[in-house]
Amino acid sequence: MTFSISGNLFKGIGIASIGALILSPDTLFMRWSEMDVWSMLAWRGIEMGVILVFFSSCFKIYRQNFKYVYSNVGLGTICSQIVSSFFFTYGVAETSVSLILFCLATSPIFASIFSIFILGEKTTNSTWITAFFALIGVGISVANGDEVLNAPQGSVLVGTICGVGASATLGLSLVLLRYKPKIPAMTVTGISALGNGFIGLLIVSPGLLFQGDILSISLSGLIILPISFACLTFATRYTQASNIGLLMLLETALGPFWVWLGTNETPNIFMIFGGVIVILSLAWYILVDQVKISLPK
């Protein structure tokens, strides 16, 4: 079987790979900051939002399409991204990074389910098969979530709810962007980040805002998040969203590794096994069902 890769596809996969790799140590810098959830939400949101809104305003196509931000779909996308980011940040502060990232990896499944109602697409049997095995993997990780060394001593149940909530709302935002492609994705992501930042500022105690490692959280908010999301957004111009979804599994695989390397937060073997089930099932789903690779007979 022979494969041919067009220049644009190769460019898209390359840009998306860079974005996913840059994003992978994000949770490590969140851990290093040692901030409470509201402080992290404020710093990450405002810093990332300012960078993305400013950067997107430099491009004519984003300025021309800015009017679509105020559409029902645009506002719905902003709300879903705000909720997703909140759940993700709260989940990382509450429990282990591994559990949150394994849950977040299931967003393509939620996207497929939401596409039934929003886009009128039919869901294939492979979607339900993948969802079944992904839920088994998440279940194994959740069942052993209390046995992670050096992880926050919060509630595994609350962390799981946050992880699944972040995954579902992320999937919803992807479907909404597909529903109305003219919405400037980078601008919307920046506005959503600013929304999270202001929510964090409203809730955080003034005395806690500057407690912790500001440099670590700022490296995430000013560099890691803007560059990675800019790359992932640009990559959609050259390759399918399904290819980007596959490459995003790099964060799921590498994120816990960076956190273990930097903080010694160590998931047990059962959590790793559950995560492998999630990653493999989603990789199979995206490659066979979404990219539609034909297997040799």
pLDDT digits (tens, 9 = 90+) for 149-173: 777 888 889 999 999 999 999 889 8
Does 9 have pLDDT greater than 70? no
For the chain, the average pLDDT equals: 85
Whether 95 contacts 159, CB under 8 Å = yes
pLDDT digits (tens, 9 = 90+) for 251-292: 888 888 899 989 988 888 888 888 888 888 877 876 776 555
Residue 4 lies in a domain: no
Q: Residues 172-200: what's their mean pLDDT?
A: 91
Residue 154 lies in a domain: yes
- With a pLDDT cut of 90, the percent of the chain lying above it is 43
> What backbone torsions phi and psi does residue 197 show, to the nearest 5 degrees?
-60, -45
8 closest CA partner among 291, 251, 292, 234: 234
Does 133 have pLDDT greater than 90? no
Helix (H, G, I), strand (E, B) or coil at 266: strand
Give the domain range for residue 192.
Answer: 14-290
Band of residue 203 on the pLDDT scale cut at 50, 70, 90: very high
How far is 236 from 239, CA to CA, in rounded Å?
A: 5
Residue 3 lies in a domain: no
Residue 2 lies in a domain: no
How far is 38 from 211, CA to CA, in rounded Å?
A: 11
pLDDT digits (tens, 9 = 90+) for 55-88: 999 989 889 999 999 999 999 999 999 999 999 9
Residue 297 lies in a domain: no
**pLDDT value of position 141:** 79
Residue 77 lies in a domain: yes
* Domains: count for the chain: 1
Whole-model pTM?
0.87
Residue owning tokens 């989603």: 282
